[in-house]
Amino acid sequence: MNTFVYSLFLSFYDKLNEYIYTLFPMLLKSFGTFGRAFVLFYVTLTGIMIMKGKGGERTKELLISVILLPLLWGLVVETDLYIKWVIDPIDSLVFDLSSFFIGVIQDGNSSATGLEGLFSNLDSLSHNIFDYLGGLKLPGGIMDGFWPFLKSAFLVILLIAIYSAAYVAFIVQIVLGFFSLYVMFALGGICIFFAAFKETRFIFYNWIKAIARHSMTIIFASIIMSVCYFGLYACLNDLMKLEGSAGLFSPEYLAAVCWSILTFCTLRLSSEYAGDIVGVMPGSTASIAGAVGKAAGAGAAVFGLSKFNGGNAAIAGAGKGVMWGVNQAQKAGGAMVSGDMNYSRMMGINPENNK
């Protein structure tokens, strides 16, 4: 039986597949008449130039384009080979590699494997820790013993916020990874034709790199979360064995907080790891995940702190969390713009003239 989060993920994933397998082929075939005419015109005109010897030094490249263009047109538009030979193998490879590295998550709650097993165990762990923290009887109160009450409430909210941020960051990395991957699949219907021409072949190569980077981001996020899960599971279970609020001031609590922070920080590096493997600049996926994760942690703080009174302070904290995430995303966007400008200068293009 699918868990709540995994069911949401499957619903999202099914919609992406519905687009690729139904709407995308219809969209490509709508260009059928124009595309066939263009391919026929280009092949005929270029073939005549080659036969007359007017190709010069570019004869070899022109001949390659004459051969590749009809083949690519047939692969993408006239048949479903693009889906069968490109989309399906890559999609299956990402799932299989993620499942291979995750393995069977054994905690006695689920026998599922891969992403389903990971989501199932994370949902179970989240339910247990939130029940434990929400059921704690804190010492003191608003009118009597306020300081012990405030310290305990703060520690409860801190753990809820950090753990929630880590879990949401993982969900965002997976969802954005698959969404970006399918965007690349959709663009492939255009980018693959650039392989036929020497001048535009770099676009095709960059498209391949983008697919590899988004695929590796999903795989690295799965690996990181599956490794961190074992640490989180051990620490949180040790914490839940302690009775009363005294556990909030124990080494087990500190270990749970440290593992949650480690999970959140390393998940944000998954796109950078992917970029290191593929050899391209990482995008802003990690910063987006950080922004959403931070906001989710702040939202959990609102919920938890309202349980122990003091809701206004939590709302203020949530606002700061959201603004922190937005600032991180803006910094990442600025870095990408700077990188694009440097690349343009390196290629001999003045980016100032394109504004």
pLDDT tens per residue, range 92-143: 999 888 888 887 554 444 556 778 888 888 888 888 888 888 888 777 666 6
Kindly state the DSSP code that residue 104 receives in the 8-state scheme: B
178, 218 Cβ separation under 8 angstroms: yes
Average pLDDT over residues 242-247: 75
Q: For residue 104, which phi and psi values (nearest 5 degrees)?
A: -85, 120
Question: Is the CA virtual torsion 31, 82, 72, 74 positive or negative?
Answer: negative
Q: Quote the pLDDT of residue 334.
A: 46
Kindly tell me if the per-residue pLDDT of 308 is higher than 50: no
Paired with 113 in beta bridges are 104
Q: Give the residue with greater pLDDT, 354 vs 276.
A: 276
Kindly tell me if the per-residue pLDDT of 322 is higher than 50: no
Question: Is the CA virtual torsion 107, 112, 116, 120 positive or negative?
Answer: negative
Kindly tell me if the per-residue pLDDT of 62 is higher than 50: yes
The string over 59-95, giving b where at least 16 C-beta atoms fall within 10 Å of a residue's C-beta and e elsewhere, is: eeebeebbebbbebbebbbeeeebbeebbeebbeebb
Average pLDDT over residues 284-292: 46
Read off the pTM: 0.73
Q: Give the residue with greater pLDDT, 158 vs 305.
A: 158
Q: For residue 113, which phi and psi values (nearest 5 degrees)?
A: -115, 170
